[in-house]
């Protein structure tokens, strides 16, 4: 090959790479921006590479710098930049997630369409670091999603959840005993931060119900996943810097090391279960056992079951979704009942009327209607997941406008849940009675105005598991304690993997 030809080839390759970078970083974003503005969308002008990400990160940091009053609107603290953009440009607006525009979608009719047409409006593909933490069924598409969802469904049937209630009770009872141990024997009331106890409870429940006989290994995995979620939040601050995720920074290296250790532990547990299945000694009284039993049947019947890698990802998902979501919901239920003692007393009266001091049974939990309304109202105000994203892979019509391919659609759950247009003048007020006639009639319309678990065919598979756990834990706390906020409590709802109390949940518990 001549030197002249080699030089020409190198020049062509460099020119092609330069054009690709230019198109990704500038030409395509500006084309998308013009397309959106022509259809009436408003937002900031695109800034090369980072878009609005730098401002987003700074605004979130400022919001977290100080607590707010218990009477303040929580949205500007949880989604400060999203709130800023909508306040400036209105609901028909967009923001820049790096070189990709993200359209705000708050119309329940459009949200319903997006969630139902899951083959058109798909989950955005995560980057290589986020996939180390969040992957599995929630990120799969097409045939892979259908296969895994079908195999996982039996583990979450009502009769299977009913069988898991005794394990949940053991975990809740363990937490109650711990709380009593904290107080001196002659003290009728005591102060503590209940948030770490709620986190420990949620971890204990998912360890028992997901791994059962491998409980100790399960707890080790939980600690790793918990660290992973914190690391992911840390590194996401630098998403706007191109190539940052590939640099060998300390958090990036730790994310990868934890991932390999989790895979090693999970692979060991799964291999033991596979061997037990082969010799007919399988345990199917926990989520992993039920998942593997269902998978084994699928392989035997259709030879198209889940791979060991897919099983590992679902185990990680059990932990991340099962622990984070339920812990977030339960702690905000307790905080809100501190703020609204009349509702706390009403809930307690119902618990004693239905349960007395007995161990709660499955059918009895379903009779706790007042408790159920309270949980749904907290789910509305403090939705653990504050927004979800979708994207369209091709040009698509949504409502009255056309979406070019590659646009992100932001469905801000917490903003829809707080919107006066759909929830009335008391949208910001804690009012469990709005759910007296059920979820479908709680809002002013019959569209998707309440979707803490998502919606459509991809609605969260574990929603009944989470609601049962929170209802059981709350009932048992109400049986044993009354509670109020401590003078040291600082109201600081903050967005991490889920919405959590940044400075803890300091309370005074009174023994009953």
Of 104, 138, 172, which residue is a domain's last?
Answer: 104
**433: in domain:** yes
Pair 71, 124 in one domain: no
Give the model confidence (pLDDT) of 99-146 as tens digits. Answer: 999 999 999 999 999 999 999 999 988 777 778 777 889 888 999 999
Question: Nearest CA to 465 among 329, 282, 308?
Answer: 329
Q: Do 308 and 348 belong to one domain?
A: yes
Q: Is the pLDDT of residue 2 over 80?
A: no
Residue 260 in this model has a pLDDT that exceeds 80 = yes
Note whether residue 241 is domain-resident: yes
Q: Within this chain, do residues 316 and 404 fall inside the same structural domain, yes or no?
A: yes
Listed residue (315, 362, 368, 321) closest to 346, CA to CA: 368
Q: Are 333 and 374 in contact (CB under 8 A)?
A: yes
State pTM to two decimals.
0.94
Q: For residue 161, what are its two tokens?
A: 């959840």
CB of 24 closer than 8 Å to CB of 99: yes
Nearest alpha-carbon partner for 405 in 386, 392, 418? 392
| pLDDT at residue 442 tops 60 | yes
**pLDDT over 90 (residue 434):** yes
Segment 49-63, tens digit of pLDDT: 889 998 998 999 999
Rounded Cα–Cα distance for residues 128 and 184 (Å) = 49
Per-residue pLDDT at 1 exceeds 60? no
Q: Do 167 and 225 have their domain in common?
A: yes
CATH at 154? 1.10.630.10
Q: 248 and 136 in one domain? A: yes
**What local confidence, expressed as pLDDT, does residue 52 receive?**
95
Q: Is residue 1 part of a domain?
A: no
Mean pLDDT of 75-100: 95
Are 56 and 152 in the same domain? Answer: no
275 is a domain residue: yes
Indicate the residue among 61, 88, 104 that finishes a domain: 104
Kindly state whether residues 294 and 160 are assigned to the same domain: yes
Do 84 and 228 lie in one domain? The reply is: no
In this structure, the answer to whether residues 115 and 94 fall within a common structural domain is no
Does a structural domain hold residue 12? yes
- Residue 262, classed as helix, strand or coil, is helix
Instruction: With cut-offs at 50, 70 and 90, classify the pLDDT of residue 411.
Output: very high
pLDDT surpassing 90 at residue 96: yes
β-strand pairing of 408-411 with 100-104: parallel
Q: Does 373 map to a domain?
A: yes
Q: Using CA atoms, how far apart are residues 212 and 291, in angstroms rounded to an integer?
A: 13
Number of domains in the chain: 2
Out of 111-125, 280-294, 319-333, 457-471, least confident range: 280-294
Q: How far apart are CA 124 and CA 257, in angstroms?
A: 25
Give 243: exposed, middle or buried? Use CB within 10 Å, 0-12, 13-18, 19+.
Answer: exposed
Burial of 123 (0-12, 13-18, 19+ CB in 10 A): middle
- pLDDT score recorded for residue 282: 66
**281 pLDDT more than 80:** no
Residue 17 annotated as lining a ligand binding site: no
Non-local (6+) Cβ contacts of 159 within 8 A are: none
Helices and strands (H and E) in the chain: how many: 19, 12
Which residue in 62, 119, 124 sits closest to 98, CA to CA?
124
181-237, pLDDT tens digit by residue? 988 766 889 999 999 999 999 989 988 888 775 566 667 787 888 888 888 878 876
Residues 6+ apart with CB under 8 A from 414: 74, 75, 78, 79, 383, 386, 387, 499
Indicate the helix (H) or strand (E) that contains 102. strand 100-104
Q: How far is CA 159 from the centre of its chain?
A: 25
Indicate whether 36 and 123 sit together in one domain: no
Residue 506 is assigned to a structural domain of this protein: yes
Q: Which domain holds residue 163?
A: 105-511
- Average pLDDT for 486-506: 96
Residue 195's pLDDT is what?
Answer: 97
Q: What is the DSSP string of 383-407?
A: -SS--EEEEESS-EEETTEEEPTT-
Within-domain flag for 2: no
Tokens of 497: 């993997």
191 with 275, same domain: the answer is: yes
Per-residue confidence band for 242, with pLDDT thresholds at 50, 70 and 90: low
Same domain, 455 and 311: yes
Q: What percent of the chain has pLDDT over 70?
A: 96
- pLDDT the model gives residue 239: 66
User: What single-letter DSSP state applies at residue 183?
Assistant: S
Which of 77, 104, 131 is the C-terminal boundary of a domain?
Answer: 104
pLDDT at 286: 84
Look at residue 305 in the predicted model and tell me its pLDDT: 87
Q: Is 242 left (phi over 0), alpha (psi -120 to 50) or beta?
A: beta
Average pLDDT of every residue of the chain: 90
Model pLDDT, residue 215: 62
For residues 190-227, one letter each, b for 16 or more C-beta atoms within 10 angstroms of the residue's C-beta and e for the rest, the string is: bbbbbbebbbbbbbbbbbbbbbbbbeebbeebbebbbe
CB atoms within 10 A of CB 343: 19
Give the span between the Cα atoms of 35 and 403, in whole angstroms.
Answer: 9
Beta-carbon contacts of residue 161 (< 8 Å; ≥ 6 apart): 362, 464, 465, 468
Q: How far apart are CA 335 and CA 491, in angstroms?
A: 9
Q: How far is CA 343 from CA 56, 229, 493, 512, in A?
A: 37, 33, 21, 17
């Amino acid at each position: 090959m001549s030197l002249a030809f080699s030089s020409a080839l190198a020049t062509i390759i460099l020119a092609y790479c330069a054009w690709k970078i230019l198109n990704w970083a500038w030409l395509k974003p500006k084309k998308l921006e013009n397309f959106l503005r022509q259809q009436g969308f408003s937002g900031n002008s695109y800034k090369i590479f980072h878009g609005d990400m730098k401002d987003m990160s700074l605004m979130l940091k400022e919001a977290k710098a100080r607590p707010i009053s218990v009477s303040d609107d929580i949205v500007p603290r949880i989604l400060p930049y999203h709130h800023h953009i909508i306040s400036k440009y209105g609901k028909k607006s967009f923001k820049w997630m790096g070189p990709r525009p993200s359209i705000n979608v708050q119309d329940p009719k459009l949200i319903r369409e997006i969630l139902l047409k899951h083959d058109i409006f798909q989950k955005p593909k995560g980057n290589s670091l986020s996939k180390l933490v969040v992957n599995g069924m929630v990120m799969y598409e097409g045939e892979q999603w259908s296969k895994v969802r079908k195999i996982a469904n039996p583990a979450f049937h009502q009769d299977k959840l009913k069988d898991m209630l005794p394990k949940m009770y053991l975990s809740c009872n363990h937490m109650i005993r711990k709380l009593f141990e904290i107080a001196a024997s002659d003290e009728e009331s005591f102060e503590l931060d209940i948030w770490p106890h709620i986190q420990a409870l949620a971890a204990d429940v998912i360890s028992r119900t997901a791994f059962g006989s491998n409980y100790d290994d399960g707890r080790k995995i939980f600690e790793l996943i918990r660290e992973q979620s914190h690391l992911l939040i840390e590194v996401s601050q630098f998403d706007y810097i191109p190539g940052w995720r590939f640099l060998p920074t300390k958090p990036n290296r730790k994310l990868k090391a934890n991932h390999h250790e989790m895979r090693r532990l999970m692979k060991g547990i799964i291999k033991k279960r596979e061997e037990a299945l082969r010799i007919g000694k399988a345990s199917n009284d926990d989520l992993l056992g039920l998942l593997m039993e269902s998978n084994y049947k699928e392989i035997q019947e259709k030879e198209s079951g889940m791979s060991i890698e897919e099983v590992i990802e679902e185990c990680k998902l059990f932990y991340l979704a099962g622990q984070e979501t339920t812990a977030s919901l339960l702690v905000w239920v307790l905080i809100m009942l501190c703020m609204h003692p009349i509702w706390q007393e009403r809930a307690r009266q119902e618990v004693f009327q239905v349960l007395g001091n007995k161990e709660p049974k499955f059918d009895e939990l379903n009779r706790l209607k007042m408790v159920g309304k309270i949980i749904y109202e907290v789910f509305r105000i403090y939705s653990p997941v504050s927004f979800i994203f979708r994207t369209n892979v091709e040009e698509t019509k949504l409502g009255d406008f056309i979406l070019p391919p590659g646009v992100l659609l932001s469905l801000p759950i917490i903003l829809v849940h707080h919107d006066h247009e759909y929830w009335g003048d008391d949208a910001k007020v804690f009012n469990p009675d709005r759910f007296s006639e059920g979820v479908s009639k709680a809002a002013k319309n019959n569209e998707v105005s309440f979707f803490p678990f998502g919606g459509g065919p991809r609605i969260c598979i574990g929603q009944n598991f989470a609601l049962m756990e929170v209802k059981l834990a709350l009932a048992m706390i109400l049986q044993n304690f009354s509670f109020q906020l401590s003078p040291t409590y600082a109201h600081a709802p903050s967005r991490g993997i889920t919405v959590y109390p940044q400075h803890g949940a300091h309370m005074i518990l009174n023994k009953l």
